Structure 1
Amino acid sequence: MDVLVLIGRILFCVLFLNSAVGHLTKTKAMAGYAGSRGVPAPAAAVLGSGCLLLAGGLMVAFGVWADLGALLLVVFLLPTAFLMHAFWKETAEQSKTMEMVGFLKDLSLAGAGLMLFAFFSYAGHDLGLTLTGPLFHIS
């Protein structure tokens, strides 16, 4: 089971780590887009969210306080769903559909992140192939 959890952690984090690289290397372009969606202080938001993605993704993938890492990803995903994928504001059908897909993807990943948080917090040190145990303990 330990190997399956490790593979799952790595696969789960590929998206977040790839996004982190984009946030941190294409900040100006991403800030322009974030600003067009109404995100306040878009450059700072893009850099901050890139750091959040990088930290959370690495923590989950390597098993370093993976419970906290999962929460960091949820902290990124929930606001992003509402700020960046407000499909209800779109008038063009194709745009509305694409934004709804992004919105639902972010909500689904946030749900998975919350489940991972609970899983890591509950399993504690019984879960192998991590570098540290959980920061939080759910019993």
Structure 2
Amino acid sequence: MKALPLLGRILFALIFLMSGLNHAMGAGTDYAAAAGVPMAGVLVPLAGVIAVLGALSILLGYKVKYGAWLIVIFLIPVTLALHNFWTVKDPMQAQMQMAMFMKNIAILGGALLLAYFGPGPYSIDNRKA
């Protein structure tokens, strides 16, 4: 049972590590610009770097509470700017954006739990203690 937080951190971090690397390389810039994100060419790669740093922190169990806050900082604007289903006219697209919005809200909840409870027993943070 002591390994469950480690497994949870690994699974949690994967989405941000994979998508963050893509964003850091500029993937998604056109989508963000089309959604009205200002300076998408700068903000998308910056968001990617934030996501990767947060993911690595959580994955390695090093400064996990700070890493979780990086994920929160990443998720809030991304969720509100890119998954604003309430503005989408096409019902199918609105449903898809609502699913993405709710997924991000659930992940945001996980990040807040990590920010509060920390990494668990198998982590660099707890090894030093």
TM-score computed with the length of structure 2 as normaliser: 0.92
Residue identity opposite 1:33 in structure 2: Y
* Other-structure match for 1:62: 60
Q: Which structure exhibits the higher relative contact order, with contacts defined as CA atoms closer than 8 Å and separated by 6 or more residues?
A: 2
Q: Once the 2 structures are TM-superposed, how far is the Cα of residue 22 of structure 1 from its aligned partner?
A: 1.2
Identical pairs, percent? 33
Deviation at 1:17, TM superposition (A): 0.6
CA distance in 2, matches of 1:69, 1:102: 22
**Residue among 78, 81, 85 paired with 1:80:** 78
CA contact (8 A) 2:3 2:122 kept: yes
> In the alignment, which residue of structure 1 is the partner of 2:122?
129
1:18 aligns with 2:11: no
Paired position in structure 1 for 2:95: 97
Segments ≥4 residues shifted beyond 3 Å: none
Q: Tell me, in whole angstroms, the C-alpha distance in 2 between the residues paired with 1:96 and 1:110.
A: 21
How far apart in 1 are the matches of 2:80 and 2:86? 10
State the shift of 1:30 in Å: 1.3
* Cα-to-partner distance string for 1:53-105 (whole Å, 9 max, x where unaligned): 10000000101100100111011111111100011111111010011011111
**1:5-43 CA distance string (max 9 Å, x none):** 111100111111110121123x1x511110011111101
CA distance in 1, matches of 2:63, 2:113: 15
Structure 2: gaps of 5 or more residues? none
Letter in 1 for 2:124: L
| Aligned residue-pair number | 126
AA paired with 1:9? R
What SS does the aligned partner of 1:20 have? helix
Task: In structure 2, give the amino acid aligned to 1:75.
Answer: I
Asked whether the 8 Å contact 2:85–2:94 carries over to 1, the reply is yes
CA distance in 1, matches of 2:70, 2:124: 18
Normalized against structure 1, the TM-score is what? 0.85
Q: What residue is the counterpart of 2:115 in the other structure? A: 117
> Which 5+ residue runs of structure 1 have no aligned equivalent?
134-139
Counterparts of 2:62 and 2:116, CA distance in 1: 15
